[in-house]
Amino acid sequence: MSLVRKRLRIAGRVQGVGFRYTAAETAHGLNLGGFVRNCQDGTVEAVAEGEAEHVAAFVAWCGHGPAGARVARVDVTDEAPAGEREFRIER
């Protein structure tokens, strides 16, 4: 099992379309730890930690998001795993 941690900044029409809640459901289904939150600049930030293939699936999902979202860009940064076990929604 190879654990990875990625920080994502998602830009576009991603706030107010259920992005955080659907991202959290997707992450829970993939057994990921981390968080998702809205940022003041209109982007959404997410951190996902878990098995490499599950994190990759989450990053791919963030590339389109839920219905109604218009993702323009996803910036991904690698981080060292921190041992997070749960995925949460932050304000």
Domain range list for the chain? 3-78
What is the pTM for the complete model shown? 0.96
Strands (E), the chain: 3-13, 33-38, 44-51, 70-79, 87-90
**27 closest CA partner among 65, 75, 72:** 65
- Enumerate residue ranges in the chain where pLDDT < 50: none
- Looking at the annotation, which residues are catalytic? 20, 38
CATH class held by domain 3-78: alpha beta
Residue 91, pLDDT score: 82
